[in-house]
Amino acid sequence: MRQKIQERLLQPQTLLIVFIIAAIGAAVQMILLGTHPFIMPKPGTFPNDIMNKPEFMNQFNGKQMTEYNNYLIFKYSFFHLLDGTNLYTIYPDRHWDFFKYSPTFALFMGTMAYLPDVLGLSIWNILNAIAVYYAIRMLPLKTKTQCMILWFVAMELLTCLQNTQSNGLMAGLMIAAYGSMQRGKSLWATLWIVLATYIKVYGAIGFCLFLFYPDKIKFILYSALWMVVFAILPLAVTPMHTLIDQYKYWAELMIADAQAATGMSVAGWLRTWFGIDNVKSTVSVVGLVLFLIQFVRIDVYKNEVYKLLMLASMLIWVVIFNHKAESPTFIISIAGVAIWYYATPKATWRTVVFALAFIFTSLGTTDIFPPYVRNHFIYPYTIKVVPCIVAWVLVFADILMLKRSAAISPDRLHEAH
């Protein structure tokens, strides 16, 4: 009986059902929680966050807010796009916080904007969940290993779904771009990367993967095509001069936002653990240099382990060096940790880091830890990011020391290989 249950839990169909149920369940839960008075500052935000400025905060006094605020930001962005109003200002009567995505993303939200919230939010969550599911199913690992990764990221995905965030979609698109490149489908690979970029600009990091595959000219042309198409798509509902203004407003908000909080990141860790402040720019430069150093291993560009490790590195890097990283963002980095773990040889020290990432990153901000621990240790000391920082350092070391003959363990390698 126990073996049958284990076999059932490690079947893709089981994981797909679990992910969809979790997506719908999280949506219904958020709807049923109703509204609550605005709390100033909003829990989970950071002291230097742009929204904590008095001129913004005061406009929310006495407002009723939902638990699915992020979805409302996305939903109403479509109507703001239609109305020609500034996408990148606050709308206290509708939702908390700014819309920070592209006008194209606002256009895409029109597919759900007219639906009742319980239905639209369910579809949105399902989209995020299945993006993660199908992307991980594209990895060159055995089906059993893919399912183990899916179980590993499930808790972090649930956190993302309960916050109605887009990070599941981001993780899925970045991994799917790698999977499409592996299959020689450059048209699809470029589509996923460009789509990720138009959701959150750091999705553009996926373009680095092009270095490891042939037909680079084709990649460049397809990328340029998708970039232009997505840039002008909003013209279907808004005039050119208004769209140009929207891109200007977006750039202005991104610049102002970049000067704000340090988030659950390397910079945040240095500030909360060691009192080292005002080093965000330095950390960003150092992080970029370290990331680029990984590309010096030209001799292993064709090695499958190297490609997987670079994918893992990208997924972790975009979170730990992201000044706006918050708890729901970590579905991206935790997927990178899992890919690193299953792409490298078994070792006790790897398993320890893997387990710590699950305990403190995936579970750290959940009810598994008492409120006192979360409020006095996990959040103030950005504990959630620490295992991911350690994991990224190890990924970095694995990449630099990788042998040309390195291969994925046969018990983890996909049957087709």
What confidence tens digit (pLDDT) does each residue in 228-256 have? 999 999 999 999 999 999 999 999 998 88
What confidence tens digit (pLDDT) does each residue in 47-100 have? 556 666 666 677 777 788 888 999 999 999 999 999 999 999 999 888 888 999
| Mean pLDDT score, 140-149 | 95
Q: Taking all residues of the chain, what is their mean pLDDT, rounded to a whole number?
A: 91
- Predicted confidence band of residue 175 (pLDDT cuts 50, 70, 90): very high
Residues 6+ apart with CB under 8 A from 217: none
- Predicted confidence band of residue 369 (pLDDT cuts 50, 70, 90): very high
- Identify which has the larger pLDDT, 61 or 185: 185
Q: What is the pTM of this model?
A: 0.93
pLDDT at 277 over 90: no
pLDDT of 417 reads 39
- Of 50-54, 97-101, 198-202, 379-383, least confident by mean pLDDT is 50-54
Residues 6+ apart with CB under 8 A from 22: 129, 154, 157, 158, 161
**β-pairing, 35-37 with 64-66?**
antiparallel
Contact between 168 and 131 (Cβ < 8 Å): yes
What confidence tens digit (pLDDT) does each residue in 124-136 have? 999 999 999 999 9
- Of 31-40, 186-195, 406-415, least confident by mean pLDDT is 406-415
